[in-house]
Amino acid sequence: MDPRDFTFNSDYPIDQVLEVLDSAVLGGITIPANTHITRTFNTVIQEAMLPEGNYSVRGVDGAKAPFGGLIYISANPTYFSPNVQVWIKSSPGSITLYIANTDNSNAHTIDFQIALLARSDQGPVDAQPLPAEFTFDTDLNYLKIAKDEIIATTAAAVNSPSLSSTAVYETSHNLGYVPILRAYMEYDGEIMPCGDGNTGLINTQVAIKSGIDANTVNYTVFNTRGAGNEPARAYRVHSRIYYDS
């Protein structure tokens, strides 16, 4: 059996969505011109979870971006064109959105959809009914988790601005092909999604990078971008490698 095909089998756990948050219910968030703000929303489950989702900017037709991404206001932007960027973190009992608007002239309103996934060390929870009807459909596939682990690591102190320290961790999966993965940075009990970008930078001054091949995954944790000295920081990387490719 190829676990990349549609299958339900108790040997292959899948992501479990524990809660969702939707601006259709909570309302959009308006951010003034040329500023950045934070907004916090409570969650029913009083634990940090693995946050995923995207956001859009009203008036920018059809555009969505993952948290940590950029949405340009103009239709034909250049690198430094005005944009709206949103990051997310999950804390025990809440999520926080960090929103930056680089448009000097206009306020903008964002909408968002957030799905909070169970951690590998989540433990029992009081499941909350989700707004959409429950369906499993063989026209869809559901990513099956091949290896789920939490990697504790420490990035050394940084003693000069603009420099960074790194910690590298390699884990094997030995699937023989390049799998899909998700990774999250946990620092001080708060969790942020991290791919190869700077999604984790805004409040903890960290980021992770991932490199994948047919047998291994490398994570490089950066302690960086400090305006001054940065202390050594202990992190946990939530690494979720899927059978799917």
Binding flags for other proteins, 74-103, as an x/- string (CB under 8 A): ----xx-----x------------------
In the range 165-204, which residues lie near other proteins by CB under 8 A?
178, 180-183, 193-199
> What are residue 158's DSSP bridge partners?
230
Distance CA 199, CA 131 (A): 28
Nearer to other proteins, 42 or 136 (CB): 136
Residue from 29, 48, 67, 202 that binds other proteins (CB under 8 A)?
67
Contact 55, 67 (CB under 8 A): yes
| Assigned token pair, 197 | 């970008």
Please state the separation of Cα 184 from the chain's center in Å: 6
Residue 28 within binding range of other proteins, rule CB under 8 A: no
In the range 204-223, which residues lie near other proteins by CB under 8 A?
207, 209-213, 218
Residue 237 within binding range of other proteins, rule CB under 8 A: no
Burial of 191 (0-12, 13-18, 19+ CB in 10 A): buried
Residue 72 within binding range of other proteins, rule CB under 8 A: yes
Residue 44 within binding range of other proteins, rule CB under 8 A: no
Mark the segment that binds other proteins (CB under 8 A) among 28-36, 95-103, 123-131, 153-161: 123-131
Nearer to other proteins, 18 or 48 (CB): 18
Residue 51 within binding range of other proteins, rule CB under 8 A: no
> What CA–CA distances, in Å, run from 108 to 26, 36, 43, 99, 172?
17, 11, 25, 10, 44
H or E segment to which residue 57 belongs: strand 50-57
In the range 148-167, which residues lie near other proteins by CB under 8 A?
none
- Those residues with Cβ within 8 angstroms of residue 48's Cβ, 6 or more apart along the chain or in another chain: 90, 91, 92, 119, 186, 189, 190, 191
Nearer to other proteins, 79 or 105 (CB): 79
By CB under 8 A, how many residues form the interface with other proteins?
A: 74
